[in-house]
């Protein structure tokens, strides 16, 4: 079979007919078809090379606990394969893909979309901070990365934790100073302010330490303060105050200074009536431990260091400033044999030296002429002494008075004449 082709010869009006074999025509058609097909593949390949993974430029900032939306759009045609999310350029922290197990807080914005691969991450945490990449992969026996977005840098704004105050391990005496530490962590960005107050009065303290020193997803702060302690601090409160850009109002932690404070007692021992006490009259010795803190204090009032005669303790009372007071009293008659008796007040506060106060009972006898007779130790009878004066050098006066009285005694008393049983007893020991 042949095909007749009509050809024109220049300058002539007649036709020339010629026959062309069919096989030649079919071959040329096939060649042309294959060329068109190859051109189509080239065009498709060029379009594949034009595939774009689009992530919006710029960084994102989100507060901890909120939901973060990461946008990714794929345009153009590419090889078979999925799209995945990673955190970090090393691709070692997968975040999401259509296949695999991932945290439930990560979800697709448009499920099943072939162009929108945006994701949401709920309940953002400080450790979520970083750069997120949307990546197109080429399918195969070993999946390979085909094209990646530019990445979206995410910073997490995190509020500081409630501050914590740590004080001394044991109680500290009033009149000295104690060191306190305040810590808070988990915040971002790094800038933070710490203020110390005692009952709303600011305490000067060194600049706080923020760790780590370099960039981090979150930070920790440590602040120390030297706090002077007084007797009036039993009810005082120490305050550590934290200020950060993520807080609407400062965070405060309170520490009761009474938890570490020790206030020693003021010890008093008093007699009522005061020395010298009239013979055979009632006298009360009162022992008190005042203004001490805490309650771990005991008190004892003894006579001549004997536990057989001790005072009667009153219930412990709390004062308006938070300190405590203990009292014990011992009531007795000022008999001759109790003259010069020693009364001792002992106050024992846990782990502290024992505090003591001692008072000696001095007995006197009123005589005619508004004079008093003071009972001396080692004497069987009283000695005259002016009632309006208490002289510390009573021994010298007593001896002088005794010698004077002996000079006026009857002669027979000096010559060894005996007394009858009815006669007056001597004023002084021989």
Q: Right CATH number for 266-364 from 3.30.565.10, 3.40.50.2300, 2.60.40.10, 3.40.640.10?
A: 2.60.40.10
Domain extents for the chain?
A: 52-157, 164-262, 266-364
Round to whole Å and give the CA distance between 176 and 257.
13
Arch. (CATH architecture) of 164-262: Sandwich (2.60)
52-157: in CATH 2.60.40.10: yes
Which residue do the tokens 């009858």 mark?
A: 420
Q: Please give the angle made by the CA atoms of 94, 55 and 214, to the nearest 5 degrees.
A: 65
Strands 209-211, 219-228: pairing is antiparallel
- Cβ neighbours around 266 below 10 Å, total: 15
- Of the candidates 83, 85, 68, the one whose C-alpha atom is nearest the C-alpha of residue 113 is 83
Domains 52-157 and 266-364 equal at CATH topology level? yes
The per-residue pLDDT string of the chain (430 residues; one tens digit each, 9 = 90 and over) reads 444 444 444 444 444 445 445 454 555 665 565 555 554 444 444 444 589 999 998 899 999 999 999 999 999 989 999 999 999 999 999 999 888 778 889 999 999 999 999 999 999 998 899 999 999 999 998 889 999 999 999 999 999 999 999 999 999 999 999 999 999 999 999 999 999 999 989 999 999 999 999 888 899 999 999 999 999 999 999 999 999 999 999 999 999 999 999 999 999 999 999 999 999 999 999 999 999 999 999 999 999 988 777 889 999 999 999 999 999 999 999 999 999 999 999 999 988 899 999 999 999 877 655 555 566 555 544 443 433 333 333 333 333 333 333 333 333 333 333 333 333 333 333 2
């Amino acid at each position: 079979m042949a095909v007749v082709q009509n050809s024109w010869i220049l300058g002539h009006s007649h036709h020339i007919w010629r026959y062309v074999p069919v096989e030649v025509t079919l071959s040329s058609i096939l060649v042309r078809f294959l060329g068109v097909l190859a051109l189509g593949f080239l065009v498709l390949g060029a379009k594949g090379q034009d595939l774009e993974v689009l992530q919006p430029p710029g960084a994102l900032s989100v507060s901890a606990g909120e939901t973060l939306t990461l946008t990714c759009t794929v345009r153009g045609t590419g090889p078979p394969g999925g799209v995945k999310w990673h955190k970090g350029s090393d691709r070692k922290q997968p975040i999401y893909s259509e296949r695999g197990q991932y945290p439930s807080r990560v979800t697709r914005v448009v499920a099943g979309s072939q162009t929108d691969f945006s994701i949401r991450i709920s309940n953002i945490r400080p450790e979520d901070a970083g750069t997120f990449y949307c990546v197109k992969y080429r399918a195969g026996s070993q999946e390979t990365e085909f094209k990646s977005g530019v990445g979206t840098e995410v910073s997490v704004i995190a509020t500081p934790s409630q501050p914590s105050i740590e004080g001394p391990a044991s109680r500290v005496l009033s009149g000295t100073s104690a060191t306190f530490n305040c810590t808070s962590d988990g915040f971002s960005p790094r800038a933070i302010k710490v203020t110390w107050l005692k009952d709303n009065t600011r305490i000067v303290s060194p600049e706080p330490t923020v760790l780590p020193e370099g960039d981090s997803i979150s930070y920790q702060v440590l602040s120390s303060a030297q706090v002077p302690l007084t007797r009036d601090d039993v009810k005082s409160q120490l305050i550590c105050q934290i200020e950060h850009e993520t807080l609407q109002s400062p965070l405060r932690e309170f520490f009761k200074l009474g938890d570490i404070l020790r206030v020693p007692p003021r010890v008093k021992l008093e007699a009522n009536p005061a020395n010298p006490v009239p013979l055979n009259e009632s006298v009360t010795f009162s022992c008190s431990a005042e203004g001490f803190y805490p309650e771990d204090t005991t008190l004892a009032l003894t006579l001549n260091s004997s536990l057989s005669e001790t005072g009667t303790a009153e219930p412990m009372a709390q004062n308006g400033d938070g300190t405590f007071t203990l009292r014990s009293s011992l009531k007795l008659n000022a008999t001759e044999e109790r003259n010069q008796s020693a009364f001792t007040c002992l106050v024992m506060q846990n782990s502290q030296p024992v505090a003591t106060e001692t008072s000696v009972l001095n007995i006197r006898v009123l005589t005619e002429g508004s004079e008093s007779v003071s009972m001396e130790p080692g004497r069987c009878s009283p000695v005259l002494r002016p009632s309006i004066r208490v002289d510390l050098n009573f021994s010298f006066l007593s001896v002088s008075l005794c010698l004077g009285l002996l000079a006026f005694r009857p002669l027979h008393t000096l010559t060894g004449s005996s007394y009858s049983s009815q006669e007056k007893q001597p004023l002084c020991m021989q």
